[in-house]
């Protein structure tokens, strides 16, 4: 049975999408500098993989586990860029190259740089990662949107590993909550690779916020790790409860997909392993749920 869902989804997505198109790939750009200094002085660094399709481009932000850096996501980002997506990989504070605090000296133009060092992750640090760091990169996507280089209202968040999934879900929840205030509301899809319910502070919320019930969700995890599989099934159950009747729809019309992969590998290793289905399924998911949809149409962001 654990292979059956995998095969059905692969067949349905392949039938619906057909042969993938390859788009001209532009060179990746390092994101840093003044626009990426946070309100509390952290110099954030990311990588932007621009799209060549302009206002039709679907933006994707990929958020990795707390003990990883964005460079590990380069192959996945290139694969999504080849499909026409505009991709951002980001180092949150204390990750990878986002390892400095910049302070201006009083009354002078000079600045001093101090290393962040290893962060003791707590609720406040996680809050700043979501509300300040991820939002900083989201504002960059808003500027790209207004320059006609992508459609930010088709934003897809990808979380990789337990903490990456939790952070992506937390930002999606925040974005959905802002929609009622006339801003945000841009996240349309959430892809989760090995989400966890019980992996310390950076875990998926339980119960899930109701604001997520309109999003298209795709999640994968390795079922041969019994603990991860048990938690994955619990998370899947919560998403299904938010979408009553979803399983009775045609496969490509559903809002929730769950793939149980016969392996112990999780997170980044689940993506990068040879013959991994995650990359292929993610590309199909984005194409069906975002690239093939005319709505929402492009518009400028305030």
**Tokens at residue 273, please?**
């392993």
Q: Is the pLDDT of residue 7 over 80?
A: no
pLDDT value, residue 16? 46
| Range 232-241 average pLDDT | 96
| Range 164-176 average pLDDT | 96
The residue that leads in pLDDT, 226 or 201, is: 226
| Range 127-141 average pLDDT | 97
Q: Report d(CA 140, CA 128) in Å as an integer.
A: 17
| Range 28-50 average pLDDT | 97
| Range 90-111 average pLDDT | 87
Q: Is the pLDDT of residue 2 over 90?
A: no
| Range 102-108 average pLDDT | 75
Domains of the chain from N-terminus onward: 2-291 (3.40.50.1820)
Structure confidence by residue, pLDDT tens digits, 179-223: 766 677 999 999 999 999 987 788 899 999 999 999 999 999 999
% of the chain surpassing 90 pLDDT: 79
pLDDT grade for 15, boundaries at 50, 70 and 90? very low
pLDDT value, residue 182? 63
Q: Report d(CA 90, CA 48) in Å as an integer.
A: 9
**Tokens at residue 13, please?**
């997505």
Query: Mean pLDDT for the chain?
Result: 90
pLDDT value, residue 23? 77
Q: Report d(CA 169, CA 271) in Å as an integer.
A: 19
pLDDT value, residue 17? 42
Which of 156, 164, 140 minimizes the C-alpha distance to 44?
140
Query: Side by side, which strands form the sheet with 42-43?
Result: 42-43, 100-104, 111-115
| Range 8-30 average pLDDT | 63
Structure confidence by residue, pLDDT tens digits, 250-288: 999 999 999 999 999 999 999 998 888 999 999 999 999
pLDDT value, residue 40? 94
pLDDT grade for 14, boundaries at 50, 70 and 90? very low
Q: Do the beta carbons of residue 282 and residue 190 sit within 8 Å?
A: no
Q: What residues have CB less than 8 Å from 230, skipping those under 6 apart? A: none
Q: Is the pLDDT of residue 5 over 60?
A: no
Which of 177, 197, 103, 88 minimizes the C-alpha distance to 133?
88
pLDDT value, residue 10? 52
């Amino acid at each position: 049975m654990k292979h059956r869902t995998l095969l059905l989804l692969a067949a349905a997505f392949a039938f619906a999408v057909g042969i993938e198109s390859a788009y001209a790939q532009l060179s990746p750009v390092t994101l840093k500098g003044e626009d990426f200094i946070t309100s509390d002085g952290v110099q954030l660094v990311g990588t932007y993989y621009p799209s060549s399709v302009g206002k039709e481009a679907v933006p994707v932000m990929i958020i990795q586990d707390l003990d990883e850096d964005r460079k590990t996501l380069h192959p996945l980002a290139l694969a999504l860029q080849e499909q026409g997506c505009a991709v951002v990989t980001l180092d949150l504070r204390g990750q990878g190259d986002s390892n400095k605090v910049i302070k201006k000296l009083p009354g002078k133009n000079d600045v001093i740089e101090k290393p962040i060092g290893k962060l003791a992750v707590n609720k406040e640090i996680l809050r700043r990662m979501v509300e300040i760091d991820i939002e900083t990169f989201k504002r960059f996507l808003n500027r790209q949107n207004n320059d006609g280089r992508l459609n930010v209202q088709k934003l897809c968040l990808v979380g990789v590993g337990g903490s990456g999934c939790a952070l992506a879900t937390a930002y999606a929840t925040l974005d959905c909550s802002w929609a009622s205030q006339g801003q945000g509301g841009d996240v349309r899809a959430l892809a989760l690779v090995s989400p966890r319910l019980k992996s310390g502070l950076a875990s998926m919320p339980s119960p899930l916020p109701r604001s997520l019930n309109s999003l298209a969700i795709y999640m994968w995890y390795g079922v041969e790790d019994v603990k991860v599989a048990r938690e994955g099934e619990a998370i899947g159950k919560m998403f299904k409860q938010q979408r009553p009747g979803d399983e009775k729809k045609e496969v490509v019309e559903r809002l929730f997909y769950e793939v149980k992969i016969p392996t112990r590998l999780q997170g980044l290793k689940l993506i990068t392993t040879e013959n991994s289905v995650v990359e292929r399924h993610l590309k199909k998911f984005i194409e069906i749920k975002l690239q093939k949809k005319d709505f929402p149409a492009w518009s400028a962001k305030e």
